[in-house]
Structure 1
Amino acid sequence: FYAVAKGRVPGIYTTWDECQQQVTGLTGNKHQKFLTLEHAKSYLSQHGIDTNNDTPKPPPSSSVSSSIPSTWKRGQHGAKPYTKPVASVSKPESKAGWDAVYSDGACKGNGKPGSVAGIGVWWGRDDPR
C-alpha cells in the first residue's frame, strides 16, 4: 500500500505507478509504502487526512472507453503538423569581420512560479565591451 499525504490527490494506492502519478514533480510531497492497509491509514491520519471512507484506489482499467471513436489510433490527435517553407539562405563566402559570441543560459525551476534564470555571454579574450 502506498499512502500519499501530500500530493495531487491524497489517499491510499495499491501500486507504485499510481503513487508516482500523485507525487512526481511536486515539491514537498509526502508519501510512504506500507505492508498493511491499517498502517497506511494511520500514516494518513497523522497527517490530518480522513481515512474513514478511504479505501485503496484500484489500478486503472485497461478497457477502452466507448466514447472514443474506434477509428482513432493510439497517439493520434486532431491537429495536423504545420510545415513552414524554408527560405533559402546563402552562406557568406568569408567570416572575416564577424564577431564570435559564446553564450549559455539556465533556469532553476523552469515553468514554475518563482523560477530564476540567468545567461552568460563571452565575446572573447581581452574584448573591450
Structure 2
Amino acid sequence: MASKNKYYVVWNGVNPGIYETWNECQLQIKGFKGAAYKGFETREEAERAYSEGYATGRNASLKGTAPRQIPQELSDAVAVDASCLGNPGKMEYRGVWVADGSPIFKAGPFEDGTNNIGEFLAIVHALAWMEQQGVRFTICSDSRNAILWIKQKKCKTKLERTGRNDKVFELIARAERWLATHAITVPIVKWETKLWGEIPADFGRK
C-alpha cells in the first residue's frame, strides 16, 4: 500500500511545523517523547490541521475516509506483511513505516511459498535490518502464527519441497540461524485489524 501523503504536520516535536517529506518529519519526532504528527495529501489539508491543533487536526479525514485510531505508541513502529497468490504460490513480503506506509524493504516474489512463511521471514528481515541500522522500533504483524514462530525461533511450516521453492527454504534456514544467534530486543505486536484497519504493509490483494 503505497503512501499518498505529501505533507506531514508535526504538532509536537523538535520543531513543530509542516514538512514535505517523511524523512524530514522523522527528524522532528524520533526519540521525542509525546510526539504528535500526521500525514496529509494536500498542503491545504496540512495547513488547516496544523492551525486547528492536534486535538482537532489529527481527526481530519483524507478524502472523506475515517482516520485510523492507531495507538500513539505504534506511531513510529514498523509494519510487516506478506502476500501469497495460492497456497502454495508466489510469495512476497515487505516492511513499511506505520506512520505513512513508506517502504523500508521488500523481497520476492518466490515460487511455491506460503503466506505464513512470508510473514515469518518479514519479521526476521525487520529484526536484522534494525540491527544493521543500529535502531530499535516496535514491529507490527497481523499473523499470530508468525509471531509465535518467532518466539519459538523456528518456522514450523508443513510446506513440502518442490524444487521450485529451494530459495524459500534457503531463506527459512538463514532466518532460523539469525534467530538462534541473536536476542530479540524489540517488541513484536499483533496488529489488530478490526480496531486499526488493514496493516499499512498490506498488499491489497484480498
- Shorter chain as denominator, the TM-score bin is 0.3 to 0.5
Higher helix share: 2
